[in-house]
Amino acid sequence: MSVLTLRLAGPLQAWGASARFIRRTTEAAPTKSGVIGMLAAAQGLQRGDDAGLAPLSALRFGVRIDQPGTRIRDFQTAHHAVTGKSMPLSERFYLADAVFVAALEGDHTLLTALHTALRAPVYPPYLGRRSCPPSLPVELGVHPDISLDQALRNEPWQASAWHQKRHRDQPTVTLVILREATSAERDGDEDVLRDQPLSFAAEHRRHTLRTVLSTIVNVPNPLARATRLPASGHTVPHHDPLGGLEEETA
Amino acid sequence: MYLTRFRVNTGRPGARRLLSSPQSLHAAAMSSFPGLLPTTTDGPRVLWRLDHNARAEVFLYIVSPERPDLTHLVEQAGWPAAALDPDTPGWQTRPYAPFLERLTKGGTWAFRLTANPVHHIRRKDGEPTKRTAHRTPVHQKAWLLDRQERSGFRVVEKSDENRLLPGGTTHQGHIHHGDRHELTVREPRSLAFFKSDEAGPQRHRVTVVTATFDGRLEVTDAEALRRTLTQGLGKAKAYGCGLMTLAPLPTTE
């Protein structure tokens, strides 16, 4: 099995798994439907092409939270551009300044085709919502003969330089991995998320449940300080004038 | 001669009062000699110095001709309960004379000195000279190096591989003391306090700039160095300046 890894970084991201009507929420990490949708768009699949979507949604999906970002709320009071009528008031939630590594495990030829499609996409990629373009190219590479878990553990830390510098006291950082469990790992206690895409048809989008297994990994911090500077109080040189003097003999 | 060390309990209000006023500390140091009456003005010299090694590690060193009794300091700014145990007295006093006798020409020691480096300037013709502090580390080092000859020691020069500049001189050929000698200067302090005039109610503002030197020295004249160690170097000896102490060099580099 091969693994395709992606870097999802941008000023804003929005990954909704349960958003309905006027309250458009976001999960803390990218959803499988969001990432599969981005790949399908890069390949030029049409909305109703469920047969073309099936091999993509059969890929095993995992994500690593490299930089959690902050959740921000947008109270949207948009008006229609032509008629000037007010649109429904809505609350939209975004993740600001977040960086994720997403990985897809599956057939090597399919993943290579997806990697090529991401380099010259038919429809441009976006991070969960059309208003959230990625700030860097999303594709990192195809890794042959590796498991999903291994690929997410091997990838270097992708967080921004300022975020890595903020953690410069830590030579390694602990990151959370959220991935689909293999059939051997399933025991019925895993978390589930309704983001396994069945159809992206415009008139009726359908998703089913997906198991999510949470693990952690320690990755090195490239901007860690080599040695900690001594505290300022220790710069006073040692000086003991009584050390050279004998005790008085009584 | 005696060398005494007293650790100040910096958490106590009495310690704060003493540490904030060089006058109070001078009075406290001078009143620790039961055999010395305060009326004698030209008595033997008592020198003291404060070493601020860390926030809660402050030592008072006293060099004196007589054995001091620091009970009052322990009570005000020490650990009185711990001092009840004869094994842990509130202060340590060692006889200094045997150590001074052992000093010989050519011996090398680590030293520490807190001093008041000053020079005398005349700002315009006909004006009397005015005592003025050296404020920059370069001038303060030059002040000490000026006095090393007659004080009986020589500050050890760095070996060439430990220097950042070739020969310890700047690119313009000037001697750079910081790179030439085994000498550092730190803790520049400006002590400012009011001193009342004995003759009247007038109060004078006193400002003393101090600097702490650390370094290595070689004895060139043992007799002169003994005088320096017991009588002090420079001005403001009443306010914690001028006491130089020696310590053995660390055996491993």
A83: helix, strand or coil: coil
Of the two residues B41 and B129, the one the predictor is more confident about is: B129
Write down the pLDDT at residue A250.
Answer: 45
For residue B56, name the pLDDT band (cuts at 50, 70, 90). Answer: confident
Q: Which residues of B touch A233 (CB under 8 A)?
A: 53-55
pLDDT per residue as tens digits for the range B192-224: 888 876 777 778 888 899 999 999 999 999 999
For B92, name the nearest residue in chain A, comparing CA atoms only.
Answer: A242
Quick check: A42 and A114 in contact, CB under 8 A? yes
Instruction: Tell me the per-residue pLDDT of A194-233, one tens digit each, with 9 for 90 and over.
Output: 999 999 998 888 999 999 999 999 999 998 886 655 555 4
**Model-level pTM?**
0.56
Share of chain B above pLDDT 90, in %: 51
Confidence of residue B191 (pLDDT cuts 50, 70, 90): confident
Tens digit of pLDDT for each residue in A126-153?
999 999 999 999 999 999 999 999 999 9
Whether residues B3 and A242 touch (CB distance < 8 A) is answered with yes
pLDDT number for residue A50: 92
- Calculate the dihedral angle through the C-alpha atoms of B137, B139, B141, B144, rounding to the nearest 10 degrees: -140
* d(CA A233, nearest CA chain B) in Å: 5
Interface of B with A in 196-225 (CB under 8 A): 214
pLDDT of amino acid B192? 86
Q: Find chain A residues with C-beta within 8 A of B245's C-beta.
A: 239, 241
**Closest-CA distance of chain B to residue A168, Å:** 27
Q: Does A189 touch chain B (CB under 8 A)?
A: no
- For A1, A34, A196, B154, the CA distances from A109, given in Å and listed in that order, are 10, 22, 22, 80
% of chain A residues with pLDDT over 70: 94
Q: What is the pLDDT of residue A238?
A: 83
Half-sphere exposure of B250 (CA within 13 A, CB side): 6
Q: Do A242 and B96 touch (CB under 8 A)?
A: no
Is B35's pLDDT higher than 90? no
Quick one: average pLDDT of B26-37? 84
Residue predicted with more confidence, B239 or B86: B239
| Residues of A whose CB is below 8 A from B246 | 241, 244
Which residues in chain A are contacts of B217 at CB distance < 8 A? none
| For residue A71, pLDDT beyond 70 | yes
ipTM of the complex: 0.72
Q: What is the spatial distance between Cα A153 and Cα B198, in angstroms, rounded to a whole number?
A: 80
Q: What is the pLDDT of residue A41?
A: 95
| Residue B153 near chain A (CB below 8 Å) | no
- Name every chain B residue with its beta carbon within 8 A of the beta carbon of A248: 93-95
pLDDT digits (tens, 9 = 90+) for B94-123: 999 999 999 999 999 999 999 999 999 998
Please tell me the least confidently modeled range out of A6-20, A22-36, B142-156, B182-196: B182-196
Residue in B99, B139, B101, B115 with CA at minimum distance from that of residue B241: B115
Contacts of B115 (CB under 8 A, 6+ apart): B143, B144, B210, B211, B213, B233, B234, B241, B242
- The whole-angstrom separation of Cα A158 and Cα B175 is 50
Q: What pLDDT is recorded for position A83?
A: 94
Restricting to B residues 74-133, those with a Cβ less than 8 Å away from any Cβ of A are: 92-96, 98-99, 109-110, 112
CB contact under 8 A, A244 and B246: yes
Neighbours of B87 (CB within 10 A): 5
